[in-house]
């Protein structure tokens, strides 16, 4: 078990009551309900979730029970999230794209009291698991009196179990407390100056901590107005921005790349009404940041977080937002970079990034071995490689498992990928190591291109900008890189070629 630092937070329903009760008459949520765009006040959301909490309690959901939420973005997700928290139960958000293999593992591991899902998705839940359609729950909840008091627990009581993407093995459930969420929410709101005057366009999936822990929680604390869409749709995005006129948007790099395809005059008009664009969940190519700034008139704020920690680092809201960097530790968060023996490395050297703070999870659900392996002296081993500049900016250099060791030299794929992404016609790039008899491993690049890309031109660019041992030994064309729901490249799904 990790050594825990003192926690400073409150039970989440107390935190959210600042808006749900304190701003009860204020418009809170614009979203489609039964095919129509509707506006709900904070007070209406409070009543809806309190009625649903009463219905869940009548179905024997109690404090400490796990409630799996398996549905797309929508008011039903918000209702279930709030109702579960009010009962002191534990929210388990699950990727709605998961199917039999992934679902069987998570349901067997979490052992939920029930799964709340949609009429369309309910067939994917095994019949031996208690499953409730959100539409049926909502209808039943209208007959219930709202609970007049929620179940209070200590702020280190579990609020959610978030399952990792499982790219290096079976997904593990990170247990996040009310304090973890509360500290993170306060950091996001204060660091990025989110206020009741903002209009937040929410297009990230709520089953992920980026959309839920950053987006929804910050909305509920700040009292801003949120437009919730089911998913990001580039074709509809122009209308969302132009008609609803948000001031705040959280996205992932693939969203920002698609937004660059919009007409220049539309981009400029959208930019004039915006206050802040934030990017995370995957590295933001420096080229995309520069092109976005030229088109929209905004420098995207890049930050770094994880399922196990929520937000760790971020570029400054008012200071320099350095391309390729994820900035500085957020308030209360400590970061250090160490070598394989656990010794601190000097600024400018790449090492393993470790994090400590009240935002860090307590354990992996029912997995003490994985929990012990994840911590050293109270520091969480993120599994990410990073370096720190002399003026304190942190830059990620990829996952430790992605490191390529060639002839005794360390090669960081992201460095090569950034070079390739600067080449005309290269839209996406991913570099992996393949076995080589002489050097152990050599780098190979997978490239998604627009139009004709010449291998000799790519090789020439790499020759000019990279040491000889870093240059890809082959360039492999693919139609698209395999990515998860948040846009992170899943390198393990790329077929390994022969060197």
pLDDT over 70, % of the chain: 96
Q: Are 351 and 339 a contacting pair, CB within 8 Å?
A: yes
SS3 call for 46: helix
Query: What pTM was estimated for this model as a whole?
Result: 0.87
Question: Residue 89 above 70 pLDDT?
Answer: yes
- CA gap 57, 107 in Å, rounded: 21
Residue 498 has pLDDT above 80, yes or no: no
Q: What angle do CA 133, 134, 135 make, to 5 degrees?
A: 90
pLDDT tens digit sequence for 177-197: 999 999 999 999 999 999 999
Helix (H, G, I), strand (E, B) or coil at 346: coil
pLDDT at 1: 35
Q: Strands of 245-369 (E only): list them.
A: 248-251, 276-279, 301-306, 310-314, 328-329, 334-338, 351-356, 363-364
Question: Which is higher by pLDDT, 115 or 418?
Answer: 115
Q: Is the pLDDT of residue 62 over 80?
A: yes
pLDDT of 97: 87
Helix 134-141 × helix 75-86 angle, to 10°: 60
Measured in residues, the chain has a length of 499
Q: Which two tokens stand for residue 142?
A: 């209208």
- pLDDT at res. 51: 98
Q: Is 60 buried (19+), middle (13-18) or exposed (0-12) by CB count in 10 A?
A: exposed
Quick one: tokens of 443? Answer: 């780098």
User: DSSP for 388-448?
Assistant: E-TTS-EEEEEEGGG-EEETTEEE-HHHHHHHHHTSTTEEEEEEEEEEETTTEEEEEEEEE
* Neighbouring-strand partners of residue 304: 313
Supply the Cα-derived Rg of the chain in whole angstroms: 23
Contact 482, 454 (CB under 8 A): no
Picking from 188, 197, 190, 145, the residue whose alpha carbon sits closest to that of residue 26 is: 197
Please tell me which residue, 1 or 67, carries the higher pLDDT value.
Answer: 67
Average pLDDT over residues 289-318: 97
pLDDT confidence of 487, banded at 50, 70, 90?
confident
- pLDDT bin (cut points 50, 70, 90) of residue 3 is very low
Closest CA to 84 of 145, 157, 31, 22: 157
Segment 320-349, tens digit of pLDDT: 999 999 999 999 999 999 999 999 999 999
pLDDT digits (tens, 9 = 90+) for 126-154: 999 999 999 999 999 999 999 987 888 88
Strand positions, DSSP E, 73-126: 90-93, 114-117
91-131 pLDDT per residue, tens: 999 999 888 888 999 999 999 999 999 999 999 999 999 99
Model confidence at 169, in pLDDT bands (50, 70, 90)?
low
pLDDT band at 287 (very low <50, low <70, confident <90, very high): confident
Phi and psi angles of residue 360, each rounded to the nearest 5 degrees, phi first:
-85, 135
CA 181 vs CA 175, 197, 276, 471: distances in Å = 11, 22, 22, 43
In this structure, the number of other CB atoms found within 10 A of the CB of residue 454 comes to 12
Mean pLDDT of the chain: 92
The better pLDDT of the pair 472, 407 is held by 472
What is residue 483's DSSP assignment?
B
Angle (nearest 5°) at CA 254 between 249 and 257: 85
Q: Which residue segments constitute the domains of the chain, with CATH numbers given?
A: 12-388 (3.40.50.12780), 403-493 (3.30.300.30)
H/E element, 67? strand 66-70
Higher pLDDT, residue 1 or 191 = 191
End-to-end CA distance of the chain: 42
């Amino acid at each position: 078990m990790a050594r825990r630092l003192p926690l400073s937070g409150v039970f989440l329903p107390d935190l959210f009551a600042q808006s749900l009760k304190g701003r009860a008459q204020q418009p809170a949520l614009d979203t489609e309900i039964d095919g129509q765009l509707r506006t709900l006040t904070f007070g209406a959301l409070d009543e809806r979730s309190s009625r649903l909490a009463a219905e869940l309690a009548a179905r024997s959901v109690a404090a400490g029970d796990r409630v799996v939420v398996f549905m797309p973005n929508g008011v039903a997700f918000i209702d279930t999230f709030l109702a579960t928290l009010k009962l002191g139960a534990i929210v388990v958000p699950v990727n709605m794209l998961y199917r039999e293999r992934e679902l069987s593992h998570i349901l067997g591991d979490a052992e939920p009291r029930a799964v709340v899902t949609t009429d369309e998705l309910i067939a994917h839940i095994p019949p031996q698991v208690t499953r409730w359609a959100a539409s049926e729950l909502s209808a039943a909840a209208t007959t219930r009196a709202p609970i007049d008091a929620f179940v209070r627990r200590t702020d280190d009581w579990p609020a959610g179990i978030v399952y990792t993407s499982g790219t290096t093995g079976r997904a593990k459930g990170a247990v996040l407390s009310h304090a973890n969420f509360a500290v993170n929410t306060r950091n996001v709101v204060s660091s990025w100056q989110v206020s009741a005057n903002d209009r937040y366009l929410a297009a990230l999936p709520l089953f992920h901590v980026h959309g839920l822990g950053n987006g929804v929680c910050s909305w509920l604390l700040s009292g801003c107005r949120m437009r919730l869409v089911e998913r990001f749709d580039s074709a509809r995005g122009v209308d969302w921005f132009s008609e609803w006129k948000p001031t705040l948007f959280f996205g992932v790099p693939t969203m920002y790349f698609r937004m660059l395809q919009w007409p220049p005059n539309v981009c400029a008009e959208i930019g004039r009404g915006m206050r802040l664009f934030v990017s995370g969940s995957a590295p933001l190519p420096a080229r995309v940041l520069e092109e976005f700034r030229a088109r929209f008139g905004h420098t995207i704020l890049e930050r770094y977080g994880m399922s196990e920690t929520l937000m760790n680092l971020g570029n400054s809201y008012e200071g320099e937002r350095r391309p390729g960097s994820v900035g500085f530790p957020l308030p209360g968060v400590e970061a250090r970079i160490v070598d394989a023996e656990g010794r601190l490395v000097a600024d400018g050297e790449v090492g393993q990034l470790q994090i400590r703070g009240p935002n860090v999870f307590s354990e992996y659900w029912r997995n003490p071995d994985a929990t012990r392996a994840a911590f050293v002296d109270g520091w969480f081993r993120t599994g990410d490689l990073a370096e720190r500049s002399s003026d304190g900016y942190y830059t990620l250099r990829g996952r430790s498992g992605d490191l390529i060791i060639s002839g005794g030299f360390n090669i960081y794929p992201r460095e090569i990928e950034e070079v390739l992404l600067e080449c005309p016609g290269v839209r996406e790039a991913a570099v992996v190591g393949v076995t080589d008899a002489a050097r152990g491993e050599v780098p190979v690049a997978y490239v998604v291109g627009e139009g004709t890309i010449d291998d000799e031109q790519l090789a020439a660019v790499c020759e000019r900008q990279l040491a000889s041992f870093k240059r890809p030994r082959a360039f492999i064309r693919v139609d698209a890189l395999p990515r998860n729901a948040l846009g992170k490249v899943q390198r393990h799904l790329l077929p390994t070629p022969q060197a």
